[in-house]
């Protein structure tokens, strides 16, 4: 079987849910604070062909407005779970960064996305057990690109984001990598690490529940 690896340099942002669509366009940030709300009246024809970044999505009218413009994509912090059937019908990609309900955007994603406003961004909103939906912002390549096998390797001192409950969406520092596998509460033995969250709380979590931020 032929395996193809495509490598690029840029910013990678992974979400927790997507509607399965793929597209690209200029990033159009319509979020002022991590706990902002995206309403339908904030989407207009001037955004046609862009990928809108918003906060919490309040209703179906937001998704309908985005389709009418139309947008090339929508990145939101959170939505109500009742909006999933509508989101799945949309022809543009939708990526949910944090989860269902009313959740604020984590500080790292907020800074990364808002500081790259008006850059081209590609959305892959495919979501399954093997991968999470993601957005890529191409950036100029540094002189020394790390080997591909080292990019996703956990190391002590890294900033990480938790992608599973009960700490989903929180950011912290990986302080400890335990050798081998550890028995966790659900009865599975998995590689785990100790992290200190931004609020000072400490937790021992499976590495599979962590996303490397830097």
Query: Could you tell me the CATH superfamily of domain 10-138?
Result: Ribonuclease E inhibitor RraA/RraA-like (3.50.30.40)
**From CA 144, how far away is CA 104, in angstroms rounded?**
35
Determine contact, residues 68/52, Cβ cutoff 8 Å. no
* One CATH from 3.40.50.2000, 2.30.30.30, 3.30.70.20, 3.30.2350.10 for 154-212: 2.30.30.30
Q: Please list the pLDDT of the chain residue by residue as tens digits (214 residues).
A: 566 666 677 888 889 999 999 999 999 999 999 999 999 999 999 999 999 999 999 899 999 999 999 999 999 999 999 999 999 999 999 999 998 999 999 888 999 999 999 999 999 999 876 778 999 999 876 666 555 545 568 889 999 888 887 888 788 999 999 988 888 877 788 889 999 998 899 999 998 888 887 6
Could you tell me the end-to-end alpha-carbon distance of the chain, in angstroms, rounded to an integer?
Answer: 33
Determine contact, residues 82/105, Cβ cutoff 8 Å. no
SS3 content of the chain, % helix, strand, coil (to 5): 20, 35, 45
Q: What is the pTM of this model?
A: 0.77
Q: What is the residue extent of each domain of the chain? A: 10-138, 154-212
């Amino acid at each position: 079987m032929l395996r193809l690896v495509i490598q690029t340099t840029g910013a990678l942002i992974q979400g927790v849910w997507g509607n399965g669509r793929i597209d690209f366009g200029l990033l159009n940030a319509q979020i002022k604070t991590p706990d902002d709300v995206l309403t339908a009246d904030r989407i207009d024809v001037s955004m046609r062909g862009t990928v809108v970044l918003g906060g919490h999505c309040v209703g179906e009218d937001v998704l309908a407005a985005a389709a009418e413009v139309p947008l090339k994509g929508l990145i939101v912090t959170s939505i109500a779970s009742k909006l999933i059937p509508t989101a799945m019908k949309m022809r543009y990609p939708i990526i949910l960064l944090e989860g269902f309900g009313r959740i604020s955007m984590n500080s790292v994603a907020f800074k990364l996305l808002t500081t790259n406003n008006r850059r081209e961004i590609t959305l892959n909103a495919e979501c399954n057990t093997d991968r999470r939906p993601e957005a890529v912002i191409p950036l100029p390549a540094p002189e020394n690109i790390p080997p591909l096998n080292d990019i996703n390797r956990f190391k002590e001192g890294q900033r990480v984001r938790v992608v599973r409950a009960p700490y989903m969406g929180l950011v912290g520092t990986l302080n400890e990598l335990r050798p081998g596998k550890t028995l966790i509460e659900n009865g599975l033995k998995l590689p785990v690490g100790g992290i200190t969250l931004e609020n000072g709380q400490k937790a021992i979590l499976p590495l599979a529940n962590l996303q490397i931020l830097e």
